[in-house]
Amino acid sequence: MLTSHKIALDPNNVQATYFARAAGTARFAYNWALAEWQRQYAAHQADPDLPQPSRLSLGRQLNAIKREKFPWMLEVTKCAPQMAIIQLGRAFENFFARRAHYPRFRRKAAHDRFSLTNDQFRVEGKRIHIPKLGWVRLREALRFTGRVISATVSRHAGRWYVSITVDTPNVTLPPAENQGAVGVDLGVSALATLSNGEVFTGAKALRGLLVQLRRLSRAVSRKIKGSRNRNKARERLAKLHARIGNLRREGLHQLTTSITRRFHTIGIEDLNVKGMLGNRRLSRSIADMGFYELRRQLTYKATWRGGQVVVANRWYPSSKTCSCCGHQLQTLTLDQRRWTCPDCGAHLDRDVNAAVNLKNMAVSSTATACGGAGAGLVRKREAKPAPVKQESNSTAALSNDG
């Protein structure tokens, strides 16, 4: 199983300068190859006798001319331009397979990264050896053991990180506590409501830092483009965005770790997040919750602990169905947080009722999977355990599972 561990680097000024040069070299090679690809493809369309471009031909072409035309490329590791062209080839493969959009040119500051093959670096404890640079300190040691596949050094909000991909046996954690199944209802006022009555409000990082975010955004817009003051303002804004993302991910990690530690079977709903973002009154709050990231973390953490996540069908009426008798309402508006079942008279909380229904759905689907046909309320989807990212207190500096 391929597992990525993203770790913060602690470089000095010389090492940070080398990283910037290597990232610039990778970006230049990618953009050069993309321009050549477009030019050669247009020439092939005009004259079919001319060969079509490929990542292999472009790699050989760059190697033949870089010593004369681009001698500064030799100052950094050879993997920087080579891996950039390989990544461009994969981007075109995804484009022709209709899995991605047409490749775009990389921009400075937005795409500062370069990749290394496993024979060009090595990790020992809390340090990594980079070609033509030497040892660079890591903020923590590599957590996984196995065959190292590759590494990608990137810059985010002024900090450098390395993402190391390891081919390791299936990651296993201590099994979940024997607390049975649980249903998780996701919402805006409260991030998650469990079927046992527990309520998690969520970090709501964007809401808490929105005033500061607006102030820094105005500061950037008022600076002259290309000036040093604008670059400083952009760096401050980027650091705030990174802080918001870190706070959101940390809250999600704490919640998902708590759920997967205690419960073996977890029932959640398949939310149409893209459609929900169309509501202009709730779109900011919905985006601030991170529903997709919560589901992703639940899936791989439950897999590591031997549990499972059961996803209900998108049209499953978890909120409108009475968890006591099964009566289903025709309509239930968003402002109705509590309602009384007209059939059995039970007084229901909207979120808790939905979580209980999701729990019952997860238990019934698990039972039918073992002994009979399902009821059609569960969306069958195999868990994809890798690649995944570990729990983190920052974008890449990962904390222990806790």
Q: 387: cis peptide before it, omega within 30°? A: yes
- Establish how many alpha carbons lie within 13 A of residue 318's alpha carbon, considering only the half-sphere containing its beta carbon: 31
Instruction: Note every long-range contact of 300-303, with CB atoms under 8 Å and residues 24 or more positions apart, other chains counting.
Output: 300/383, 300/384, 300/385, 300/386, 300/388, 301/173, 301/256, 301/257, 301/260, 302/176, 302/260, 302/266, 302/383, 303/383, 303/385
Read off the tokens for 33.
């190859």
185 an active-site residue?
Answer: yes
Determine the Cα–Cα distance for residues 20 and 108; give it in Å rounded to an integer.
10
Query: What's at 317, amino acid-wise?
Result: P
In angstroms, the first-to-last Cα distance of the chain is 23
Three-state SS for the chain is CEEEEEEEEECCHHHHHHHHHHHHHHHHHHHHHHHHHHHHHHHHHHCCCCCCCCHHHHHHHHHHHHHHHCHHHHHCCCHHHHHHHHHHHHHHHHHHCCCCCCCCCCCCCCCCEEEEECCCCEECCCEEEECCCEEEEECCCCCCCCEEEEEEEEEECCEEEEEEEEECCCCCCCCCCCCCEEEEEECCCCCEEECCCCEECCCCHHHHCHHHHHHHHHHHHCCCCCCHHHHHHHHHHHHHHHHHHHHHHHHHHHHHHHHHHHCCEEEEECCCHHHHCCCCCCHHHHHHHCHHHHHHHHHHHHHHCCCEEEEECCCCCCCCECCCCCCECCCCCCCCCEEECCCCCCEEEHHHHHHHHHHHHHHHHHHHHHHCCCCCCECCCCCCCCCCCCCECCCCCECCCC
Catalytic residue among 112, 288, 351, 391: 351
Catalytic residue among 36, 93, 112, 185: 185
Residues taking part in catalysis = 185, 269, 351
